[in-house]
A and B are shown apart, each in its own frame.
Chain A
Amino acid sequence: MHRSWQRLLFITSTFGITQAHANGWNMPVGVTDISQDIFGLHMAIFWVCVVIGVIVFGVMFYSLLKYRHSKGAKAASFHEHTSVEVLWTAIPILILIGMAVPATATLKNMYDSSEADLDVMITGQQWRWRYEYLGEDVAFTSNMSTPREQIRGEETRDEHYLLDVDEPLVLPINRKVRFLMTSDDVIHSWWVPELAVKQDTIPGFINENWVKINEPGIYRGQCAELCGVNHGFMPVVVHAVEEEEFEVWLAERKEAAEQEAMGIDREWAMEDLMARGESVYQAICSSCHQRDGQGAMPAFPALANNDQLINNLDWHIDRVVNGVSGAAMPAFRSTLNPVEIAAVVTYTRNAWGNETGDVVQPAAVAERIAQ
């Protein structure tokens, strides 16, 4: 019953402004049932406001024109009228009840995350997202891939400026996906307008939300809660694909994870570690410690020519693996795999004039993480 009531709202309210979405002036209609319901509510309350506004401002401007002092208007002296006052109190209450009913129905629907087909854990970190497909052994972080040169205006900005990531979240369409959301440091907020999902990620606590996408496509969003310096640079990209395609993708990711796991045991050459380390460093570390390892004082110390780092290998690995409590440095033990940690440690120990010559093998890191 509620649904048909909402459909009605939706149809009446989209009348005449179907182009608004395409122009990017209005809230996107979105690609889930919930987002369409929300769009319907949005347009319904918008038109309610427009009608009230036309009436109120109509009376106001009529009075301003008609009763001008300069036209010799004589002021009346009435200053109360109980029945009119009762009326203009009662009518808004009725309108509000009329809005509250469909809003309540939509909200209840949004809160019903039961019977999900897939669980994805979303973790906010300064300043990236981590996605874990629970029970599937697939997990990765998603960083903004817009190059610094575009931000600084040294290159032409491409179409998806600031809204592109290295690894999008891949989701199947037509399946109910439950999101479990939390954070490793400060409060972030995961938001994709076309999915109508916006939820705070709170350190130490877990939030839930869900989505069932109707159409395949690429949907972009951003972190919506101020989370520090690079708050503006942690986009969300969701790649919604057909269910079969998703299964194939998931299988590939699992295989890749196994390949990576095997890489732990083999002996890596310095060049390979340096190459791998540089890409990890630029994706993960450079947002704080800067691309050239110079850091940004006082929050983010320099790594280049950092004596403590150069002289103490164990300390260095420990900082990357376990992080620093109460500071911006997260623990990468579960975010990066041993190969990546070994690579990035090797890279930082041999880049920008840090010529220690140390080569850290993944096996050694793996041993440190889990004995």
Chain B
Amino acid sequence: MAPKLPPQHSLQHSSTAVAGGHSQHGHAAQPKGIMRWLLTTNHKEIGSLYLIFSLVMFFVGGMFALVVRAELFQPGLQLVEPEFFNQMTTMHGLIMVFAAVMPAFTGLANWMIPLQIGAPDMALPRLNNFSFWLLPVAFTLLLSTLFMPGGGPNFGWTFYAPLSTTYAPPSTTFFILALHIAGISSILGAINIIATILNMRAPGMRMMDMPLFVWTWLITAFLLIAVMPVLAGVITMMLMDINFGTSFFDAAGGGDPVLFQHLFWFFGHPEVYIMILPAFGIVSAIIPTFARKPLFGYASMVYATAAIALLSFLVWAHHMFIVGLPLTAELFFMYSTMLIAVPTGVKVFNWVTTLFRGSISFESPMLFALAFVVLFTIGGFSGLMLAIAPADFQYHDTYFVVAHFHYVLVPGAIFAIMAGVYYWLPKWTGHYPNERLAQCHFWCSIIGVNLTFFPMHFAGLAGMPRRIPDYALQFADFNLLSSIGAFFFGASQLIFVLVVVMCVRGGKKAPAKAWEGAEDLEWSVPSPAPLHTFETPPVFNRTHHHD
């Protein structure tokens, strides 16, 4: 999420990273200006592009959320019509999932994976450029549907058929196309990451020596490879239902609307883990650094991540407890969902045990990581409650669910991204972020997040359904609090932009090893990291690592 301009002086630095690497032919003829960014194949520049893009989209999606919260500020319809309200909830979800969180993780992967495994660049640099530039195309197309006749997608980010097929606005075909392009971008990114991690590690670095961020991203990339094609399949079926008269999801033609949900959640549940596993990796890097103590149970963490990824394919129908599944299916998915709490719990216990008997300091990355552990766990608890199928008959499609997944995604995924940005900013820019402002950002965000999402638990339990533009009077107090919190949270993210911009432009100089307890390979290159690093593979020194 950080707009970080790669160092302009990098050409002089190009071979200083590790002595001996001579710049390859072609570096001298770098295009300038816009063409440099359009054509760049450098993993750091592309990483920055991803992060800038996702930050912009984070604010676009955030604006949509604020429209929703403004309308829900008090009962009655004041600002927008229900039709536009539905477009806003849908777009908020789509943009945040596909254009903010996922590209932010890909951006961090682009920047950090080569640095953490001692590779000179990603395995497929030109593909890397292409997969980034697909994103602006996809989301310009998606956002443009808002201006088409009939409006943009208005059927929720889960786009259940037949509301998204037979009863959808005409722009749905463009929505499908946009999602296809974004999906291809994610797939290409995943291929690149897998190829990089499997083939480009520094000599001597085995799989079990890799930092956890690399491990979690490897598993995430496999998840992407497995489920993005399923999403592509589902939206292709929708496209055919809408335009070519098939009836995959239309009961009238012998299809089945419930099939859509099975297929969607077969993609959708692993997708949830795609958005959280890299966050686990970031937090697992930050907590040991600031506790000055090795990560507790490194191997368990890797295995738990793999176990979560495998289990994520077995739990999809817990999103569908009330569609009328047979009893046996209901029980199966309840049990498998409850079991996923075990490896997730293992991770939390490992982080807490890493803190135990450490030597802990509280710089801004650590604050965000600690908030992640606490608030993600709270989201996990409500997830455990939702797993109890009979109780889910009451929770399903209420604000309780909204509270649950926002706790997992906002102070979960997004806080982890911000923690990662603060953690690696010294490496990217050569300057420490302004600690006072960063702490201010942290405390504002903590207050804002909890004020926004905690009351939603109560609203949901009291009976408020999701995705309604207006509500009964007994929900008024909760919504008032949530709306105030949302505007406060939104405004406090401007501090984040300020910190990042200030950090790019100057600040306290950071040494190569910017944090006292940091051990991974990225801290062996100078800060700011020159444009080209590890052109000669580094010597991997295992004693500094996990065993």
A–B in direct contact per CB < 8 Å: yes
B391 contacts across to A, CB distance below 8 A? 38, 41-42, 45, 103
Say whether B360 contacts A96, CB under 8 Å: no
Chain B: CB-nearest residue to A88: B349
- Alpha-carbon gap, A28 to B357, bound state (A): 44
Say whether B394 contacts A198, CB under 8 Å: yes
Q: Which of B338, B349, B359, B469 contacts A73 (CB 8 A)?
A: B359
- Alpha-carbon gap, A200 to B82, bound state (A): 22
A26 contacts across to B, CB distance below 8 A? 458, 461-462
Report A308-343 residues with CB < 8 Å from chain B CB: 325-326, 328
Q: Which of A28, A74, A89, A229 contacts B463 (CB 8 A)?
A: A28
Classify chain B: how many residues form its interface, as a range: 35 or more
Query: In the complex, what's the smallest C-beta–C-beta distance from B168 to chain A, in angstroms?
Result: 10
Q: What are the interface flags for A20-63 relative to B under an 8 Å C-beta threshold, 1 for contact and 0 otherwise? A: 00001111100000110110011001101100110011011001
- Alpha-carbon gap, A196 to B353, bound state (A): 41
A132 at the interface (CB under 8 A from B): no
Report A89-104 residues with CB < 8 Å from chain B CB: 89, 92-93, 96, 99-100, 103-104
Chain B CB within 10 A, most for which of A68, A111, A225, A296: A225
Query: In the complex, what's the smallest C-beta–C-beta distance from A81 to chain B, in angstroms?
Result: 8
B252 at the interface (CB under 8 A from A): yes
Say whether B295 contacts A79, CB under 8 Å: yes
- Alpha-carbon gap, A187 to B322, bound state (A): 12
B294 contacts across to A, CB distance below 8 A? 77, 79
B394 contacts across to A, CB distance below 8 A? 27, 35, 38, 42, 193, 196, 198
B465 contacts across to A, CB distance below 8 A? 191, 222-224, 232
Chain A: CB-nearest residue to B260: A187
A159 at the interface (CB under 8 A from B): yes
Q: What are the interface flags for B246-287 relative to A under an 8 Å C-beta threshold, 1 for contact and 0 otherwise? A: 000001100011100000000000000000000000000000
- Alpha-carbon gap, A37 to B391, bound state (A): 9
Say whether B472 contacts A160, CB under 8 Å: yes
Chain B: CB-nearest residue to A190: B322
Chain A: CB-nearest residue to B298: A79
Say whether B327 contacts A108, CB under 8 Å: yes
Say whether A198 contacts B396, CB under 8 Å: yes
A104 contacts across to B, CB distance below 8 A? 331, 334
Say whether A79 contacts B296, CB under 8 Å: yes
Chain B: CB-nearest residue to A76: B357
Say whether A189 contacts B397, CB under 8 Å: yes
B451 at the interface (CB under 8 A from A): no
A2 at the interface (CB under 8 A from B): no
Say whether B83 contacts A229, CB under 8 Å: yes
Stretch at the interface among B156-164, B187-195, B219-227: B156-164
A360 contacts across to B, CB distance below 8 A? none
Query: In the complex, what's the smallest C-beta–C-beta distance from B454 to chain A, in angstroms?
Result: 12
Say whether A45 contacts B462, CB under 8 Å: no
- Alpha-carbon gap, A78 to B352, bound state (A): 13
- Alpha-carbon gap, A35 to B467, bound state (A): 24
B257 contacts across to A, CB distance below 8 A? 187, 202-205
B519 contacts across to A, CB distance below 8 A? none
- Alpha-carbon gap, A151 to B472, bound state (A): 10
Q: Which of B76, B292, B334 contacts A75 (CB 8 A)?
A: B292
Report A261-285 residues with CB < 8 Å from chain B CB: none
Report B312-329 residues with CB < 8 Å from chain A CB: 322-324, 327
27 A/B residue pairs, CB under 8 Å, sorted by A = A24-B462, A25-B458, A26-B462, A34-B390, A41-B388, A45-B391, A49-B384, A56-B352, A60-B355, A60-B373, A63-B355, A73-B357, A103-B334, A103-B391, A106-B390, A107-B334, A187-B162, A198-B396, A203-B251, A224-B396, A226-B466, A226-B467, A227-B163, A229-B154, A232-B471, A233-B470, A328-B167
